[in-house]
Chains A and B, each alone.
Chain A
Amino acid sequence: MLREMTKTPFYVLLHPFQGFWDLKYENKGKLRVALGILLLLTIATILLRQYAGFVVNFNYPYDLNSIYELQVIVLPFFLWCVANWSLTTLMDGEGKFREIVMTTGYALLPLVLMRFGNILISNVITLRESAFYYMIDSLSVLWFVWLLFIGTMTVHQYTVLKTLVTMLLTLFVMGIIIFLVLLFFSLLQQMIGFVLSIYTEISFRT
């Protein structure tokens, strides 16, 4: 069981086409694993911010905030999933929400591995070799985008072009969702403020 759980993500890493297929049609994917990878990514990022070697670490220690890391990793993750799901249900996508979360989670694995690797590497390199650090960093992002692309394509059974369009549109929808949420909160705030001011006014009159 545990062996299966750890083996699949690595298989997906190297054989994305077959891997994501198995995820969807062979029930090899586990939601737990996907969320676990997300958790690991958060931990890796927090650790990288704190423990990356001095030559590549430009963070102001007092500015480091783990809650903030959650905000920039976990929030966009679910935002992506929700936006992607809402979009693909309208665009004849075959993926269920569960599958979308799973795909996105599994695609994050290269980021996790390379960030952990970078923590180790950055502590034994000099300024001249720091190019490797940045190379690994950008490589991991490229790999992640590649996996996400294949994953989206497989889960929704899309063509290449349609996948690309969907992914770009998903980013757009993410923006819309953020806008709506902010709008909602500001309206809510005003409503509460209105009710409160009426309450105070009435309470002063009596």
Chain B
Amino acid sequence: MKFIQSMGITAIVLASLSLFASPLQAEAAPYEGYNYSYWGAAVNVPNAYVPAGIVDGSMLAIGKFKDPTDMYVAADGLLYVLDAGNRRIVVFDEQWEVVREIRGFVRDGKQEQFTSPQGLFVTKNNHIYVADTENRRVVELTGEGAFVREIGAPRSEVIGPNFQYYPLKVAVDNAGRIFVIGRGVFDGIIEMDADGSFTGFMGTNRVKFNAWDYFWKRLSTKEQRSKLAQFIPLEFNNLDMDSEGFIYSTTAELTSKDPIKRLNPSGEDVMRRKGYFNPMGDIYSGAASQSSLLIDVKVGENGVYSALDSRKGRIFTYDQDGNLMYIFGRMGEQEGTFRTPVAVERRGDQFLVLDRDMDQITRFKPTRYGTLVNEANDLLVSGKYDEAEGLWRELLRLDANNEIAYAGIGKGLLRQGEYKQALEYLKFGYDREYYSKAFGKYRKEFVRENFGLGMTTVIVFGVGLWSFKILRRRTRGKVKSNVT
């Protein structure tokens, strides 16, 4: 008995000790931060973002959310939540006070409501566009919720008679052009002009098939062919508009190398993919089950954008060049984890993630690490390399393996003319482009400094060799002449 007692006490003491001995985390999160190294290995890094609270409407007078499907942060900082199950739009200000609640709208004296709306967009002058999916229309409202107009199904000769129009997501550019993603529409994003008349499809995803499938299809009969899977391109599933009027779109395609696209006004993909890997969520090797399924994208300031992975519940944030900045979030039941994440938004330096099953918004705030990454990148984009360098160095103190930080410092040193040091840092950062630039400068400098010495050596050596040859020939000649 005594033995058991003493064992118990020891256990308790050990447990309490290990509590103190465990690595202290400044801020707790239900997930572990990681990022991908240049070689594609997932390496642990400090968490960039940690959960900072949950908003589900129940604490407020408006009642709990029910199956919310989308949300949008307007230019003035107001957050619009499309609470589809309750057929309403809830508008929050930055203190999370409810500004207003829009429950349908009055049209021609009649009250109308949304039927399972899936998408929401708010323009710069605070007009709300709602993709009212089951009513097969896009509705434009003023910021106060007054009806402006209804945009129905697109009409054109290029659209077949059995075209089913179910708008899922909507975005509007500065010129008033409307972009709609429809359910099952694989021709691309439906583009309409400011009046709401159809102008065309843009940014069609390409059909992908391999030679083997094609071979079989050629061999099979017509009947067999109709039973084979068709080669059709995948449809877009979400979009966002950046400040320059470029569309960021996501495609729910496993094993895709470019699920995130940045489409210019003529529909070409102009995404910069200069990072170690293409922006595609998790880097997987082989198995499709490891790849991410991206369902939402949000463009922040300075071309930084984030994508939401619905399979693992992770948010991937990339900088304007396509470098992976940080990853956070996971699936689960705790605060900071999701069951069915559907939308990601960014307000200031905070992230908001909407969960449809848990009917709540999770707020995420940056840690010191996350703040440093954000600030350093902002400075880098605005060309303040020297100031950014200081932040990168601080970042390295938190995460000595951060390759992007090394590359950042290298770029700063290159600007200051410290070529030799820059080379070292750029090598750590695996930035071959800038390494090469720095190396060219360093080589030039090296040659200029050592030209005199080098040239002298060459001349002295050349003359020496020449005279040695002459001397040898003469001595040999003498030997020969002696013999004969």
Q: In the bound complex, do residue B443 and residue A128 qualify as a contact, i.e. CB atoms below 8 Å apart?
A: no
The reply to whether the CB of B214 lies closer than 8 angstroms to some CB of chain A is no
4 smallest beta-carbon distances between A and B, as pairs: A127-B436, A126-B436, A126-B440, A55-B436
The reply to whether the CB of A199 lies closer than 8 angstroms to some CB of chain B is no
Interface residues of B in 433-479 (CB under 8 A from A): 433, 435-437, 439-440, 443
* B437 CB contacts on chain A under 8 angstroms: 126
Q: Could you tell me the distance between the alpha carbons of A55 and B440 in the complex, rounded to whole angstroms? A: 12
Q: In the bound complex, do residue A55 and residue B443 qualify as a contact, i.e. CB atoms below 8 Å apart?
A: no
Q: Could you tell me the distance between the alpha carbons of A127 and B437 in the complex, rounded to whole angstroms? A: 8
Name, among B427, B432, B435, the residue most crowded by chain A CB atoms within 10 Å (CB to CB): B432
Q: Could you tell me the distance between the alpha carbons of A54 and B443 in the complex, rounded to whole angstroms? A: 14
Q: In the bound complex, do residue B39 and residue A126 qualify as a contact, i.e. CB atoms below 8 Å apart?
A: no
What residues of chain B have their CB less than 8 Å away from a CB belonging to chain A?
Answer: 39, 427, 432-433, 435-437, 439-440, 443
Q: Could you tell me the distance between the alpha carbons of A59 and B20 in the complex, rounded to whole angstroms? A: 42
Q: Is the interface of B mostly helix, strand, loop or mixed?
A: helix
Q: Could you tell me the distance between the alpha carbons of A124 and B423 in the complex, rounded to whole angstroms? A: 13
- Tell me the smallest distance from the CB of A182 to a CB of chain B, in Å: 24
Name, among A55, A124, A126, A127, the residue most crowded by chain B CB atoms within 10 Å (CB to CB): A126
With known contacts A54-B427, A55-B439, A127–B432 Cβ distance under 8 A:
yes
Closest B residue to A58 using CB positions = B432
Q: Could you tell me the distance between the alpha carbons of A54 and B439 in the complex, rounded to whole angstroms? A: 10
Q: Could you tell me the distance between the alpha carbons of A60 and B40 in the complex, rounded to whole angstroms? A: 11
- Tell me the smallest distance from the CB of B443 to a CB of chain A, in Å: 7
Name, among A124, A127, A128, the residue most crowded by chain B CB atoms within 10 Å (CB to CB): A127
Q: In the bound complex, do residue B39 and residue A128 qualify as a contact, i.e. CB atoms below 8 Å apart?
A: no
Name, among B435, B436, B440, B443, the residue most crowded by chain A CB atoms within 10 Å (CB to CB): B436
Closest B residue to A53 using CB positions = B439
Closest B residue to A123 using CB positions = B439
* A126 CB contacts on chain B under 8 angstroms: 436-437, 439-440, 443
Name, among B427, B433, B437, B439, the residue most crowded by chain A CB atoms within 10 Å (CB to CB): B439
* B433 CB contacts on chain A under 8 angstroms: 127
* B435 CB contacts on chain A under 8 angstroms: 54-55, 127
Q: Could you tell me the distance between the alpha carbons of A54 and B433 in the complex, rounded to whole angstroms? A: 11
Closest A residue to B433 using CB positions = A127
Chain A window 43-66, contacts with chain B (Cβ cutoff 8 Å), 1 for yes, 0 for no = 000000000001100001000000
10 A-B pairs with C-beta separation under 8 A: A54-B435, A55-B432, A55-B435, A55-B436, A126-B436, A126-B437, A126-B439, A126-B443, A128-B436, A128-B440
- Tell me the smallest distance from the CB of A53 to a CB of chain B, in Å: 9
Q: Could you tell me the distance between the alpha carbons of A128 and B432 in the complex, rounded to whole angstroms? A: 11
* B436 CB contacts on chain A under 8 angstroms: 55, 126-128
Name, among A54, A55, A124, A128, the residue most crowded by chain B CB atoms within 10 Å (CB to CB): A54
- Tell me the smallest distance from the CB of B256 to a CB of chain A, in Å: 24
Interface residues of A in 102-152 (CB under 8 A from B): 124, 126-128
- Tell me the smallest distance from the CB of B26 to a CB of chain A, in Å: 32
- Tell me the smallest distance from the CB of A127 to a CB of chain B, in Å: 4
Q: In the bound complex, do residue A124 and residue B39 qualify as a contact, i.e. CB atoms below 8 Å apart?
A: no
Q: Could you tell me the distance between the alpha carbons of A20 and B432 in the complex, rounded to whole angstroms? A: 44
Q: Could you tell me the distance between the alpha carbons of A72 and B435 in the complex, rounded to whole angstroms? A: 31
* B427 CB contacts on chain A under 8 angstroms: 54
* A127 CB contacts on chain B under 8 angstroms: 432-433, 435-436
Q: In the bound complex, do residue A124 and residue B443 qualify as a contact, i.e. CB atoms below 8 Å apart?
A: yes
Q: Could you tell me the distance between the alpha carbons of A126 and B439 in the complex, rounded to whole angstroms? A: 7
- Tell me the smallest distance from the CB of B293 to a CB of chain A, in Å: 29
- Tell me the smallest distance from the CB of A122 to a CB of chain B, in Å: 11
